[in-house]
Amino acid sequence: MGTNDNFKRLAMSENGFLFDPQTGHSYTVNEISMEILSCLKRGMDESGIIKHIMDNYDVTEDQIKRDYNSFIVKLKQYSLYEETDKELAKKFKK
């Protein structure tokens, strides 16, 4: 479980501004993204995060699952997130 180090170094402001001190890149995110990012930082896994969002927001499981996956694709594209071996292994087993 857990996220990689790239991710943990991100500085997050409350109004949706993200700064990566290592690369100097900055990002804007919206409220839902902030929720997901802070869950990730806390080391929550996909199913936990999805449940958390569904508990707090008016969204179907289908919708959040789809959006969550798209969001992770984007994080990976910005090299902000890598799945840990454990997560990959879990995915692979399914």
Chain residues binding another protein by CB under 8 A are 18, 25-30, 32-33, 35-36, 53, 55-59, 63-64, 66-68, 70-71, 73-75, 77-78, 80
List CB contacts of 6: < 8 A, sequence separation 6 or more.
20, 22, 79, 80, 81, 82
DSSP secondary structure, 60-88, as one string: -HHHHHHHHHHHHHHHHHTT-----HHHH
To another protein, the closest distance from the beta carbon of 43 in angstroms equals: 18
Residue number, 61 or 89, with CB nearest to another protein = 61
Token pair of 83 as six digits: 């799945």
Nearer to another protein, 78 or 89 (CB): 78
As measured in angstroms, the least distance from the Cβ of 58 to another protein is 4
